[in-house]
């Protein structure tokens, strides 16, 4: 059996050309949209000038990571927090008819009584973000804290107030008064 090849009809060739032309025009429109329509020389010159002025002079930029760390270290602070936590009632509580209940009861009764709460301390770090004393830290550092203190790089300690918190992003903003 011989295979037959039929020549393409005029209509199918025209349809393929139309489809290709439509695809090409959508592709070109996408390129134009992606470029942001900044094809004029003036727009490109303005954008380039903005980028050039935004980059600091080479002489003011740090030349190494160590130099950058040294320049930025005064903005890094230590954060101390304290939290009041309840104390458990005791290490052993007799339940029911225990064979050594009387012995343990006498033993633990003679021990000094603990206060109902103890002060839990924690620490973290933060970064000074403005000259007027705003500091960014992690929310989990200050979460549930009764007191928050900030220790600067020069070892000066300040009481801090929590002015903003976002548990979802684990960020908090503190404020210290340095005057």
Percent of the chain, pLDDT > 70? 60
Q: Which sign, positive or negative, has the C-alpha torsion 139, 145, 149, 153? A: negative
Higher pLDDT, 33 or 162: 162
Q: What average pLDDT score do residues 48-74 get?
A: 70
Question: Who's near 25: CB < 8 A, 6+ residues apart?
Answer: none
The 10s digit of each residue's pLDDT in 136-150 is: 999 999 999 999 999
pLDDT digits (tens, 9 = 90+) for 69-121: 888 889 999 999 999 877 765 555 555 566 776 776 766 666 666 666 778 89
Task: Provide the 8-state DSSP code for 113.
Answer: P
pTM for the model: 0.53
Q: Are 82 and 123 spatial neighbours (Cβ–Cβ below 8 Å)?
A: no
CATH of domain 66-89+98-176: 2.40.10.10
């Amino acid at each position: 059996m011989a295979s037959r090849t039929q020549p393409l009809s005029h209509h199918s060739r025209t349809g393929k050309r139309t489809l290709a032309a439509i695809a090409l025009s959508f592709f070109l429109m996408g390129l134009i949209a992606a470029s942001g329509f900044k094809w004029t020389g003036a727009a490109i010159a303005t954008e380039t000038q903005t980028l050039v002025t935004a980059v600091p002079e080479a002489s003011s930029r740090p030349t190494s990571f160590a130099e950058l760390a040294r320049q930025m270290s005064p903005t890094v602070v230590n954060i101390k927090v304290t939290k009041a936590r309840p104390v458990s009632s005791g290490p052993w509580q007799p339940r029911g008819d225990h064979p050594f209940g009387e012995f343990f009861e006498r033993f633990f009764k003679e021990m000094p009584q603990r206060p109902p709460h103890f002060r839990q301390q924690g620490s973290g770090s933060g970064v000074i973000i403005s000259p007027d004393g705003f500091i960014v830290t992690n929310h989990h550092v200050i979460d549930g804290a009764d007191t928050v203190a900030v220790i600067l790089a020069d070892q000066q300690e300040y009481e801090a107030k929590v002015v903003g918190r976002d548990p979802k992003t684990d960020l908090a903003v503190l404020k210290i008064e340095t005057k």
